[in-house]
Structure 1
């Protein structure tokens, strides 16, 4: 049987089975698998068991693997394929607070008609249960049509992504020989502009730091001590304000080492995407891009490193007014990294920078909150061209190779621990309200996402 005919039969099965697939997704969404809340530990395990049973039912050898935290689900089809592929997704979800802002109970999924089309609304609908189920449904249709799964598929489904993945790296190290494949496929990203398929080929890395500056052994009266005693908030504010110069460049020594500029080819590709920074900002009540002078907006969003202050606390912040010099000030600061920037060097440079502002009577301590390098994929691998063509066949327009301003550390872990690149393909939209009340996933994204994975499977077999 010709390959196109084999694929057409799978696509037809996906189309005719869409309602049943949505029922399965709804059952999955009803499980409140909130990994950050110990009260939901049983629900997280129930979601893992649900996935194991679904995958076993379509022919995978599937099992739950315990970790010090929440379990992993590992599944594999028969070995022997020319190119082993590892699929990654996560089945845990974010908390639902504030509950009062949900229009429906967050774990009672509903299908709604909206001006943009039908959606399924529930916590986890987009991040990441709906996305994960797109490739599970593609596997299911393949098995139902052809009587067997494609060979050498490995699934790694995590239950701690929304709580920092504390068990993931040790698990990868301990099971590297079992999990190593030629390529990882991750479904946790978006369509470009809400309609165009996209393959993320680079991700920014991340350094997170909390800094605590302490001065006197108690809050001080600002009339008695102001102008005489050190004020930790002032010290912290001066250090943070000095992180950037007037052109928006980060001032830490060596900060831009390894932050590669765009190649001319990639710049042309990205400029042709029509990235609209004004529209993006307009959706959140802003209008004017800021950043490094001389950089185009899409470059600032995807290919330039950043320094951002995420929160500051200290002193009296209650109702009314209290004139004190606080004994302590805290800030949380994050850096997004690009290219070959070294997270350890960035962290050390930031700490040295803060210490340089410290007067004799103040002390400082730092608390590390994660660090991972940027990920840049080797798009010369023929799989990228094959997947790009498959996505173009499904969506009627060429898939874009794009960057992402966010960080997906698992892609870096697959590279450093398992020695393989990742292909990040997702079908979410930027209005899916992930991590927020009333999260949703477009039915079109779900249906065409499953069809897209079927096409990619056929192209990579």
Structure 2
């Protein structure tokens, strides 16, 4: 590994200049006016794959933005690593809050600032450079590799399920590596081995045919806002537990080993409370903050609308009210089943004086790879070596539906080996990436690929 470390250090300036070129492409997948920029980013990735010695490089069309594929399959008898990432980025609004232009990468205080610096161009780029460095140092790779880099992650990967389904043989591998998630905190190397799923729902409540004067009609006709508030309140008890019948029935409990690992992190809940500036943390009784946010399901109200929203008061009795709900799901739970349970609960608890309709939104299944799996433990060992600190094995409260897609269709373990930090403003102005993690992360990736063959034998 010393030769690899020396090679990485000597190439650092070149690497960062190349990363700046990639970050300069405004590949905003959500905005039609950036379609050509998204295509340019795909071409950049494809060209970079060719330069580092990948074969069968192809920009593969979907019904939306393309997927870039490339592979190197000459490590006979060795495992195959599938590397997933995305080259699209979030919109930059509000532009006036950026200290430097979002697509003109700027390095200051050992951080690189640009849209996509941490989510996910910077982390995809690290895998490109790790593979390049191994190839240049040894003339070959210690494992077989396949790259699958998409352009629609920031809009929910609407066409990736179909792509993976159609190309299962091409994408088959022994382990999937994703670097698109944050570390636990600065200096704390982290391997994430599970993500929560997602089920989204909108509730629309209708009363009279139009808004009414609250003085003339108040108390005599149904108020959709009152009905909605009562309905939403029925979904939790006073101890933070979800009151929807059957909601917890299929939840797979945390293992004793996992609980011990979480307790060993000695997570500072008071620091979190202070950082968030709230009087107290809140959640399901009997569970720690990490357990509530990593391994317990949730039902959250994300938005409510109805009646007069302007300054001052308007004594209106609204004709309509609505709310948006999202449920984060854990292993054992199926989003379609959860939505059925929610529908049943709404039907049973809604006022008969109003009309209630529902609309389903995003869905995604949870996934978990056993944290004692050899591929997970090898990643942890490589990270510990690079950072000089014990690796934390965590789950993550958020959802990454594509991870479950790969897990389900390809039946492979997934290693979420991220190098971003929660404070790096991904999806917000002044997104940045700490170069400490760029440097140590590159070492860790190279070491992981070097040792993975022996680990999975």
What's the TM-score bracket when you normalise by the shorter of the two chains? over 0.9
Question: RMSD across aligned C-alpha pairs, in angstroms?
Answer: 1.4
Cα distance between partner residues in 1 of 2:385 and 2:324? 45
**1:308-336 deviations in whole A, cap 9, x for unaligned?**
10000111112332211211111110111
Cα distance between partner residues in 1 of 2:278 and 2:124? 33
Cα offset, 1:277, TM superposition: 2.0
**1:380-408 deviations in whole A, cap 9, x for unaligned?**
43222222212111111221111111111
- Could you say what secondary structure the match of 1:137 adopts? helix
**After the TM superposition, which residues 376-391 of structure 1 pair with which residues of structure 2 at under 5 Å, given as runs?**
376-391=368-383
Matched-pair contact (CA < 8 Å) for 1:212–1:365: yes
Cα offset, 1:300, TM superposition: 1.1
Q: Who is 1:309 aligned against?
A: 301
The answer to whether residue 65 in structure 2 is matched with residue 70 in structure 1 is: yes
Q: Who is 2:88 aligned against?
A: 92
Matched-pair contact (CA < 8 Å) for 2:225–2:321: yes
Cα distance between partner residues in 2 of 1:417 and 1:363? 40
Matched-pair contact (CA < 8 Å) for 1:77–1:150: no
Matched-pair contact (CA < 8 Å) for 1:89–1:132: yes
Moved more, 374-383 or 31-40: 374-383
Q: What 5-or-longer segments of structure 1 have no aligned partner?
A: 1-6
**1:200-223 deviations in whole A, cap 9, x for unaligned?**
112111111111111221111111
Question: Of residues 16, 39, 53 in structure 2, which corresponds to 1:22?
Answer: 16
Cα offset, 1:275, TM superposition: 1.1
Q: Who is 2:401 aligned against?
A: 409
Moved more, 317-326 or 120-129: 317-326
Cα distance between partner residues in 2 of 1:98 and 1:412? 32
- Could you say what secondary structure the match of 1:76 adopts? strand
The answer to whether residue 136 in structure 2 is matched with residue 105 in structure 1 is: no
Q: Who is 2:387 aligned against?
A: 395
Matched-pair contact (CA < 8 Å) for 2:182–2:418: yes
Question: Of residues 178, 181, 204 in structure 2, which corresponds to 1:186?
Answer: 178
Q: Who is 1:452 aligned against?
A: 444
Q: What 5-or-longer segments of structure 2 have no aligned partner?
A: none
Cα distance between partner residues in 1 of 2:250 and 2:58? 41
Cα offset, 1:151, TM superposition: 4.5
Matched-pair contact (CA < 8 Å) for 1:259–1:340: yes
Cα distance between partner residues in 2 of 1:168 and 1:359? 41
**After the TM superposition, which residues 246-285 of structure 1 pair with which residues of structure 2 at under 5 Å, given as runs?**
246-285=238-277
Cα distance between partner residues in 1 of 2:29 and 2:225? 35
Q: Quick one: structure 1 residues 350 and 318, their matched pair in 2 at CA, closer, same or farther if it must change by over 3 Å?
A: same
Moved more, 341-350 or 380-389: 380-389
Question: Of residues 420, 428, 436 in structure 2, which corresponds to 1:428?
Answer: 420
Cα offset, 1:246, TM superposition: 0.8
Cα offset, 1:192, TM superposition: 2.0
Q: Who is 2:237 aligned against?
A: 245
The answer to whether residue 30 in structure 2 is matched with residue 31 in structure 1 is: no
Cα distance between partner residues in 2 of 1:188 and 1:277? 25
Q: Who is 1:119 aligned against?
A: 111
Cα distance between partner residues in 2 of 1:44 and 1:440? 20
Cα distance between partner residues in 2 of 1:292 and 1:357? 22
Cα distance between partner residues in 1 of 2:33 and 2:276? 33
Matched-pair contact (CA < 8 Å) for 1:86–1:179: yes
Moved more, 392-401 or 156-165: 392-401
Cα distance between partner residues in 2 of 1:348 and 1:138? 46
Aligned length: 451
**1:159-214 deviations in whole A, cap 9, x for unaligned?**
00010110110101111111011110000122222211111112111111111111
Cα distance between partner residues in 1 of 2:376 and 2:350? 50
Matched-pair contact (CA < 8 Å) for 1:204–1:336: yes
Q: Who is 1:4 aligned against?
A: none
Matched-pair contact (CA < 8 Å) for 1:85–1:153: yes
Q: Who is 1:340 aligned against?
A: 332
Cα distance between partner residues in 2 of 1:91 and 1:203? 21
TM-score (norm 1): 0.95
Cα distance between partner residues in 2 of 1:85 and 1:454? 13
Q: Who is 2:159 aligned against?
A: 167
**1:404-447 deviations in whole A, cap 9, x for unaligned?**
11111121111111111200011111110111111100011111
Question: Of residues 348, 354, 362 in structure 1, which corresponds to 2:346?
Answer: 354
- Could you say what secondary structure the match of 1:415 adopts? helix
Q: Who is 1:155 aligned against?
A: 147
Cα offset, 1:255, TM superposition: 0.7
The answer to whether residue 6 in structure 2 is matched with residue 9 in structure 1 is: no
